[in-house]
């Protein structure tokens, strides 16, 4: 059922909505006079994308902001010790989940009652219809659980990768310019504007250098460290016997760091995935940002599409610069992210890529 949510047809229908959410977000980032904390704002962006695009909820912005704060409290306590005591992280997480599910139930009921004005089938529509096809009417609790799972899957890892993407574009302006060159050569970017109707799924899939950039971000800054599996059959690894029934953890990050196919593993080099080198093609499990095997991440194509759409907007319609003297330190838990956020100043641009001055800057510009 969930695989239908991330099919090619579904992604095609999500794309215009994803673009709209990203455009609105970048416009908001550019309109503020102060630098933004990219990681925090990226969390808001991916939460909004999940609510507006994946689930098709028409929640007012003010209510959406409150729901985001509750969701943050839920996420912060997901990995707390399961000790149900007053003021414990576990109790805070449970309360946040209850509040969250009340809000989701209200949104689901409104969605089920108001089906007019829909121009695409979102993930929740597909989930409901697939249940009916299998002869099962999903209960409200199942719908709330499925909804919460979709938000959770789309949230932390995508926010982490989005932040890493922006940080690497800041660190490597040549990469950003090469992205712009590819967009121009493919007829997507013209005179500082994205050509109308040019961003379709097949067009984005044909942007080879963009694909290399996203792959390299996910190689060097894999959002999560690894995954768990259960041993189905006793086997040996480097002389050690791993018994059937044991739980094992595989490390994505260590695999990327030690895989012999990657040259200069600490260097951000998108060209390693280009046609001339194709370092990821030399082994089956050397590159696995979304896991591997039959339990690979179902949402990987949506995640990559979102990151590509964000990169295109950043390269086409934005100018941004680091607002601190140095880049922040990176922490790996629970997902890769800057310790103190990533402070960046975004500038609004007109159609000719000229900076639009606002607030005090505008007055100073007028005076000059």
- Binding-site entries for heme: 297
Centre a 10 Å sphere on the Cβ of residue 80 and count the other Cβ atoms it contains.
14
Instruction: Give the residue among 364, 346, 352 at the shortest CA–CA distance from 42.
Output: 346
Task: State whether the Cα torsion 303-164-358-348 is positive or negative.
Answer: negative
16 upstream amide cis, omega within 30 of 0: no
Annotated binding residues, written as ranges, equal 297
Contacts 24+ apart (CB under 8 A), 140-145: 140/105, 140/108, 143/108, 144/101, 144/104, 144/105, 144/108
The conformation of residue 281, written as its DSSP 8-state character, comes to: G
Return d(Cα 73, Cα 160) in angstroms, integer. 17
Instruction: Give the residue among 268, 265, 226 at the shortest CA–CA distance from 247.
Output: 226
Return d(Cα 262, Cα 122) in angstroms, integer. 38
Look at the block and give the residue holding tokens 């390299």: 216
């Amino acid at each position: 059922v969930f695989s239908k949510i991330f099919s090619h047809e579904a992604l095609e229908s999500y794309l215009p909505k994803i673009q709209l959410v990203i455009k609105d977000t970048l416009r908001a980032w550019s309109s503020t006079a102060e630098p933004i904390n990219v990681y925090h704002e990226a969390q808001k962006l991916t939460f909004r994308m999940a609510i507006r695009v994946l689930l098709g909820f028409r929640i007012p912005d003010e209510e959406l902001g409150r729901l985001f704060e509750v969701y943050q409290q839920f996420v912060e306590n997901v990995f707390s010790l399961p000790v149900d005591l007053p003021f414990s992280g576990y109790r805070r997480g449970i309360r946040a989940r209850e509040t969250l599910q009340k809000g989701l139930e209200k949104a689901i009921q409104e969605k089920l009652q108001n089906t007019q004005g829909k121009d695409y089938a979102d993930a929740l529509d597909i989930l409901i219809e697939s249940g009916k096809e299998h002869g099962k009417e999903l209960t409200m609790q199942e719908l709330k659980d499925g909804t919460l799972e979709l938000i959770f899957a789309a949230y932390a890892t995508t926010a982490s990768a989005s932040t890493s993407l922006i940080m690497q574009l800041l660190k490597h302006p040549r990469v950003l310019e090469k992205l712009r060159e590819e967009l121009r050569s493919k007829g997507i970017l013209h005179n500082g504007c994205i050509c109308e109707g040019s961003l379709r799924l097949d067009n984005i899939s044909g942007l080879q250098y963009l694909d290399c950039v996203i792959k390299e971000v996910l190689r060097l800054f894999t959002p999560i460290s690894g995954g768990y599996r259960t041993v189905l059959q006793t086997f040996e690894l480097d002389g050690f016997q791993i018994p059937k029934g044991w739980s094992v953890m595989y490390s994505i990050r260590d695999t990327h760091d030690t895989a012999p196919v990657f040259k200069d593993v600490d260097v951000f080099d998108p060209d390693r995935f280009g046609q001339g080198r194709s370092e990821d093609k030399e082994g089956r499990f050397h590159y696995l940002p979304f896991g591997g095997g039959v339990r690979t991440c179902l949402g990987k194509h949506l995640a990559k599409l979102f990151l590509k759409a964000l990169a295109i907007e950043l390269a086409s319609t934005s100018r941004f610069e680091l607002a601190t003297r140095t880049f922040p330190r990176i922490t790996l838990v629970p997902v890769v992210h800057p310790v103190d956020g990533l402070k960046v100043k975004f500038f609004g641009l007109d159609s000719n890529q000229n900076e639009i001055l606002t607030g005090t800057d505008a007055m100073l510009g007028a005076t000059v």
